[in-house]
Amino acid sequence: MPLFLFPALATGLVLFFSSGTGRAADPNIVVFLADDMGMGDTSVYQDWTGNKDDRQLHTPNMERIANMGIRFMDAHSPHSRCSTSRYALLTGRYCWRSSLKYWVLFGVQCDPLIEKTRPTLASLLRRNGYRTGMVGKWHLGLRYRRKDGSPSKGWADADLTKPLEDGPTDHGFDFFYGISRSHPTSGPSGKHPNGADQQRGPGWIHNRRIVGATGNGKQLDGSYVLEKIGPTLHAKAFDFLRSANTSKKPFFLYFASPANHTPYTPCKAIAGQKVVGASRHVDGRPTGSTRLDFIHENDVQVGLLLDYLQKTADPRRPGHKLLDNTLFIFASDNGAENRSKTATGPLRSNKGSTYEGGHRIPFFASWPAGKLGDGRPKTPGRTSTRLLALNDLFATFSQILGKPLPDLSKGEIGAEDSISQLRALRGEACPPRSPVFPNDHSEASRKNSEQRAVVAVRSNASPIGGKWKLFLDHRFALQEELHPTELYNLETDQFEQKNLLDDPAARPALDFLLKEAAKARGDNGSTRQ
């Protein structure tokens, strides 16, 4: 199967990245990642979901992105939960190849998931002249230190006034302001008394410092309030953008929103724009839903970012605004936590599942100078049915920069499961993508929670017609064994109801998918398809 592959031009991990100051042609990049948001949660996909105007949440700013550029109908999170999907997005590697085979990272302190030597989107871009910033939810592990500065063994001997290690600024980001995990478990707030404990995390983190740490290193100052997270992230994101735009370097902003993860805690307003009670259906009626207000908070944040980019001059391109040469990507980390048509659309199941509702996500992007669309928010953008995954961003950004991917045959590491989607983003014809392997399946092995690592092989390029999906049990991720359990043709069975595993007519598709799974799992990411 012909797939995009960069030439191997370098001989070592360090030499893989070339230093630079940022060419005028290199785009600014904004990746806005919503939390637990399905395709039915945005009016960008209303024509596909069929949701009625009095039921569909109106997200006009998300529509601005899609109309200027392109929306994808078959985009996927490589996993159906938080930690695992964020690992894949930043590294271009499936999380089931890592130490975390499934589920998410728990605990206030846990082993960082991204290996120290592994390149990330941020380190790729920083080594090529970008200013790199992140605001929002990390959820990839942190390590604390003792009072004497040595690494702590656990929460009991940690001193919150000491610098953290293995956070975003240790993995390529120049700037970070955000939270350790999902917002209700990142710090004491609301019903939870002020004061750090094993169940409630450190609150706000700025680079390597816990912002509110006081006293003996076990107390927090009360600055972490769930309903004020949105305005805080807005302010810090704009602090980074204004600072980055004073130089002639391009910038990369990763905005990892905690909305709309439960509990639903929308803020009252952001930069003067009302949030609580402001969400509307497409027909203009108030939704009356706190959950939809929280999603609306994302739309407000997106709109404020777009307005800034549209009004601000580009110091690298005189006579142009920043928006013209900014690649703006909106996506979600997994499907909606809510199992309904207005959340996941006409898909089976929801977050935590390897059925489509768990991992097929909203994904749309704009970049006027990059020819992703016509750049006009009042005209319909392009639509693509190409198979795409969040782990593809690494290879895509590398191709935009004209940089080779790590040469896996020479022992270099990085982006093992990433395929460039630049041509697809531009609406150009391109060869089929190799299969995507989403995993984590709450419906499977309920009696043995340690065996939930069900993996699906999702392909639009089988030897027989259709869009095929094969389910393998937990042994695929844990022991490299192939045990098929379910087979669906999504072309004719989008809701995944008719298991074709024993259908002789589907045998060619089954054999193809098993072969692809064996190839992907057996090499442990040592070759790039």
- Tell me what pLDDT residue 80 has: 92
Q: Can you give the residue ranges of every domain in the chain? A: 25-425, 449-522
Give 382's strand partners.
70
Sequence-ordered strand ranges (E) for 360-420: 363-366, 382-389
25-425 matches 449-522 in fold: no
Number of helices and strands in the chain (H, E) = 13, 17
pTM: 0.93
DSSP-derived letter for residue 286 is B
Which H or E run contains 273?
strand 273-274
C-alpha dihedral over 289, 291, 293, 299, to 10 degrees? -140
From first to last of its 529 residues, the chain has per-residue pLDDT tens of: 333 333 333 323 333 333 345 566 899 999 999 999 999 999 999 999 999 999 999 999 999 999 999 999 999 999 999 999 999 999 999 999 988 888 888 766 677 899 999 999 999 999 999 999 999 999 998 888 899 989 887 777 888 899 998 999 999 999 999 999 999 888 875 444 444 444 567 889 999 999 988 877 777 888 889 999 999 999 999 999 999 988 889 999 999 999 999 999 999 999 999 999 999 999 999 999 999 999 999 999 999 999 999 999 999 999 999 999 999 999 999 999 988 989 999 999 999 899 999 999 999 999 999 999 888 888 899 999 999 999 999 999 999 999 999 999 899 999 999 999 999 999 999 988 999 999 987 665 555 555 567 899 999 998 999 999 999 988 898 888 999 999 999 999 999 999 999 999 999 999 999 999 999 887 767 767 6
Give the per-residue pLDDT at 485: 93
- Pairwise CA distance, residues 335 & 356, whole Å: 8
Predicted pLDDT at 160: 87
Q: Which one-letter amino acid corresponds to residue 380?
A: P
Q: How many CB atoms lie within 10 A of CB 316?
A: 19
CATH no. of 449-522: 3.30.1120
60-68 helix and 290-311 helix, angle to the nearest 10 degrees: 50
User: Hey, how many other C-beta atoms are within 10 angstroms of the C-beta on 312?
Assistant: 14
**Range 25-425: architecture per CATH:** 3-Layer(aba) Sandwich (3.40)
Q: What pLDDT score does 2 carry?
A: 31
Strands (E), 315-367: 326-332, 363-366
DSSP letters, 139-205, are -S-BB-B-TTSSBPSSSTT--TTSPPBSSGGGTT-SEEEEESSSGGGSS--TTSPSS--SSS----E
SS (H, E, C) 148-159: CCCECCCCCCCC
Cα angle: 189, vertex 194, 199; to 5 degrees: 70
DSSP 28-87: EEEEEEESS--GGGSGGGHHHH---TTTSBP-HHHHHHHHHSEEEEEEE-SBSSHHHHHH
**pLDDT the model gives residue 373:** 87
Placement of tokens 């959340």 in the chain: 343
Closest CA to 433 of 365, 351, 506, 520: 520
SS3 96: helix
Q: Strands 219-220, 213-214: parallel, antiparallel or unpaired by DSSP?
A: antiparallel
* Confidence at residue 22, expressed as pLDDT on a 0 to 100 scale: 54
- Backbone φ and ψ for 468, nearest 5 degrees, come out as -100, 150
Element (H, E) at 393: helix 393-401
Radius of gyration, alpha carbons of the chain: 22
Pair of tokens at residue 216: 């003996």
